Structure 1
Amino acid sequence: MSAAIITTVRHNIGDDFVREGILYLLNNAGLDCAVEVIHKHSPVTVVRGLEFVRNLHVSHVLEPLTRAIGLSNRIDDAHVLIQSGAPIYWCHEGGPHCSDNEWFDPLIRQRFLPNRRDRPFLNIAGGSCQRYHSDGSELELCSACMSYLREFFDACDLTLLRDELARRMLNLAGRDARVLPCTSIFARDQLKMRSEPGEYIVLNFMENGGHYTFGQEIDAGSWRRLFVELAGIVAKMGRVVIACHTPHEEALARELVPSLDRFLIPNEHTEFMKFYSRAKWGVLNRVHGAFMMASFGRPAVVVGSDSRARMIENLNLDAYFVGDISSAALEGIAESARSRCNGYLEEIEEIRMSARLAYIDELKTALQL
């Protein structure tokens, strides 16, 4: 038996964390199978032998040709198809729109659905990517995204979401799904990693506090200055290491806080997991860095620029909009993480236990295991 997972490959370690957690849950639900991955940003990677094609424009040309001539591919061969946790619902005035994403049409409409053969399609840990304070009402003005949400949901045997805004958007489309903490909190279990003694406080910096600004009032220069100030405050509390998920983040950290240690091993998610297992607490822009720390019982807060940051609230931790941050708030933000150190391990284990049982129950039902 085999499963194909629509995810990213050597692209974003957060996606790797999510996928490892899904594999753990599938195994514990009783699905013992080989797994193959498809890099969704280049859908032609579904075809065997074309894994090296990473350019979307090239994929647009090649992928329809590979369908026409019937080349061997991972979706046709899979017994189960899984969309691995990622932003799946986004809708912004003037774009971008989730209905225009690069993978659903070639992989689902064109490949999977015409040749479904009663095979299950699972959408696990999908989330929103809206403005930070969005209530999802942008969707009501977009018939294309509204229709897409319905189509995507109706194609799936199971939909599980990772944030409440995603659920509100799905509700606006006339559908509903359960919200559970992102599966990344189980990646450590899949790789059999344990929490190590805390050695350092972790900070993480992204320009503008995240990947996107979506037209919000975010002052890049202000966040740079505030981060430097935050680093100075936190450095008085103990050794600080800047987590850099990309070489660009490492270059920014070197520029802004050159005296602080930095950690970067590009695209090696297991090394980042080991790094986060030795943290004490942290303040991060990268939400999945915070999720990984939290899974080891180490409290972290997220300062973010869009609705993904608020996923951390499912772990009873705090999120802040980067555009709302002021100098006066920095000590309180740091303290909101540091003050949770003593009791958070017990708290997160309760959350993980409850979520684990819920996920396994949903998977067993959907897969008839």
Structure 2
Amino acid sequence: MRIGLITTIGTNIGDDFIREGLCLVLSEVFKGQQLKFVMVNKHQPFMVYPRWHPIHWPQMLPRGRNGAKRIIAKLLSGFGLSLFDSCDLIVQCGAPVVWAGCSRCEWAEPLWYQVVGRLSQKGVPVLNLGAGSCYLWEKPPRRVNDERDALYLKKILGYCRITTVRDKVAQRLFESLGQSCPLIPCPALLAGRPFINRPTDEDFVVINYMEKGGHYDWGQNIDPTVWKNTVKVVIERIRKHYQVLFLCHDQKEYRLAFEVNPTIPRVLPKNSQEYFSMLSRVKVGLCNRLHASIALASIGIPSLAVGTDTRLLMVEAVGLPYLYVKEATVERIEEVLQHLLISREKECERLRILREQTWDEYVEVVKKTLCL
């Protein structure tokens, strides 16, 4: 059985956690069958075609002829023969799906409209699992205001036999478009399931640091210096009682961690095996990468997430504390981390139970949708 995966490849390990969690679910649903996962990087949407396909020819045109490239690509897409054409199932692997300007994303036309939409009309089942929102924290919308975004979202929701969401803003916005979607925690919560988190006597607090407290400022006038200084003070207070470890998801974070405090050890795991092995000694975490929080939760480690946009609500969905970066003072962070340390055993058990409930929900929703 061939399963097409719309995913992100080679950006950061958080995307791997989402994909790996869903692959575990699909392997359970189709237990006993030989599965072949066909991964397509949505940021390189023409990857959905084999290298010999004529749709790649327009890429050889000189720069500045994007209009011609789009027209030629649209005509050639009608020939089919994409990697997804031979798939029995297509799965959109959780990610922000709804944001301001989502209709203008690079994969909307070549991947969704020209391939997934066409195959959906032919009867190939499409599942959109773990869809999320990404809007500035200070002013999340009540509905999708951009007509082009609304049209795009209605189309892809129509292609999919089921869409599940990972945060309440995504759920509300899809409801405003007439689509009711179940809210299930992010599939990345399942990524740590194959790994055993042994109780530790070591006193490590892990910190994942991003320059502005998140990926983007979103025009909210976030001062990166204020956040950097806050983290510096938090580290000095924590290390009086616990060892501190920087957890980095990419080379930029690895470099920034050194700038914050060059005396603190840093780790940059290359894969899930390394990631969860390195984290086995951790008690609690403070994370800017929200999938660092979810990954920690997947092996029963509680954390405080600090961010800049509605992706924070993905953390709310697993019952963990979170703060908007402008509200993340030293005192508030210290208070929350202390509470997590005191309640660690109870939180660890709660997260493990939630992970198994989430597992059951995803397995059930896939089986029910596909009438298995």
TM-score with structure 2 length normalisation?
0.89
Aligned partner (choices 86, 89, 102) of residue 77 of structure 1: 86
Kindly provide the CA deviation profile for residues 253-310 of structure 1, in whole angstroms up to 9, marking residues without a partner as x.
1011111110014x43331232233321111101111111111111111001111122
Q: Structure 2 matches for 1:78-157, cutoff 5 A?
A: 78-91=87-100, 97-116=101-120, 117-137=122-142, 139=144, 141-157=145-161
Instruction: Report whether the alignment pairs 1:21 with 2:11.
Output: no
Contact (CA 8 Å) 1:282, 1:299: kept in 2 or not?
yes
2:45 equivalent in structure 1: 43
- C-alpha deviation, 1:87, in angstroms: 0.5
Kindly provide the CA deviation profile for residues 91-143 of structure 1, in whole angstroms up to 9, marking residues without a partner as x.
2xxxxx1111111211121123224421100000010001124442362x311
Please give the alpha-carbon distance, in whole angstroms, between the structure 2 residues aligned to 1:288 and 1:342: 21
Contact (CA 8 Å) 1:276, 1:289: kept in 2 or not?
no
Kindly provide the CA deviation profile for residues 133-163 of structure 1, in whole angstroms up to 9, marking residues without a partner as x.
4442362x31111222221211100101101
Contact (CA 8 Å) 1:217, 1:323: kept in 2 or not?
no
Q: CA RMSD in A?
A: 2.3
Contact (CA 8 Å) 1:283, 1:301: kept in 2 or not?
yes
Please give the alpha-carbon distance, in whole angstroms, between the structure 1 residues aligned to 2:77 and 2:185: 40
State the AA in 2 paired with 1:8. Answer: T
Q: Structure 2 matches for 1:323-334, cutoff 5 A?
A: 323-334=326-337
Q: Structure 2 matches for 1:218-229, cutoff 5 A?
A: 218-229=222-233
Q: Structure 2 matches for 1:149-228, cutoff 5 A?
A: 149-189=153-193, 192-198=194-200, 199=202, 200-228=204-232
Contact (CA 8 Å) 1:99, 1:144: kept in 2 or not?
yes
1:6 equivalent in structure 2: 6
Contact (CA 8 Å) 1:282, 1:337: kept in 2 or not?
no
Contact (CA 8 Å) 1:47, 1:66: kept in 2 or not?
no
Q: SS where residue 207 of structure 1 aligns?
A: coil
Contact (CA 8 Å) 2:143, 2:172: kept in 1 or not?
no
State the AA in 2 paired with 1:12. Answer: N
Instruction: Report whether the alignment pairs 1:292 with 2:295.
Output: yes
Contact (CA 8 Å) 1:85, 1:182: kept in 2 or not?
yes
Q: 1:329 to 1:66 in 2, by over 3 A?
A: same
Please give the alpha-carbon distance, in whole angstroms, between the structure 1 residues aligned to 2:77 and 2:170: 35
Q: SS where residue 22 of structure 1 aligns?
A: helix
Query: Which runs of 5 or more residues in structure 2 are unaligned?
Result: 53-58
TM-score with structure 1 length normalisation?
0.90
Q: 1:138 to 1:211 in 2, by over 3 A?
A: farther
1:94 equivalent in structure 2: none
Please give the alpha-carbon distance, in whole angstroms, between the structure 2 residues aligned to 1:100 and 1:365: 32
- C-alpha deviation, 1:312, in angstroms: 1.1
Contact (CA 8 Å) 1:244, 1:264: kept in 2 or not?
yes
Please give the alpha-carbon distance, in whole angstroms, between the structure 1 residues aligned to 2:78 and 2:125: 25
- C-alpha deviation, 1:337, in angstroms: 2.8
Q: Structure 2 matches for 1:253-268, cutoff 5 A?
A: 253-265=257-269, 267-268=270-271
- C-alpha deviation, 1:328, in angstroms: 3.1
Q: SS where residue 317 of structure 2 aligns?
A: helix
Q: Structure 2 matches for 1:57-76, cutoff 5 A?
A: 61=69, 64=73, 67-68=76-77, 70=79, 72-76=81-85
Contact (CA 8 Å) 2:41, 2:47: kept in 1 or not?
yes
The size of the alignment, in residue pairs, is 355
State the AA in 2 paired with 1:30. Answer: F
Please give the alpha-carbon distance, in whole angstroms, between the structure 2 residues aligned to 1:223 and 1:58: 45
Contact (CA 8 Å) 2:77, 2:115: kept in 1 or not?
no
**Greater alpha carbon shift after TM alignment, 112-121 vs 69-78:** 69-78
Please give the alpha-carbon distance, in whole angstroms, between the structure 1 residues aligned to 2:51 and 2:293: 36
- C-alpha deviation, 1:58, in angstroms: 7.9
Please give the alpha-carbon distance, in whole angstroms, between the structure 1 residues aligned to 2:97 and 2:278: 29
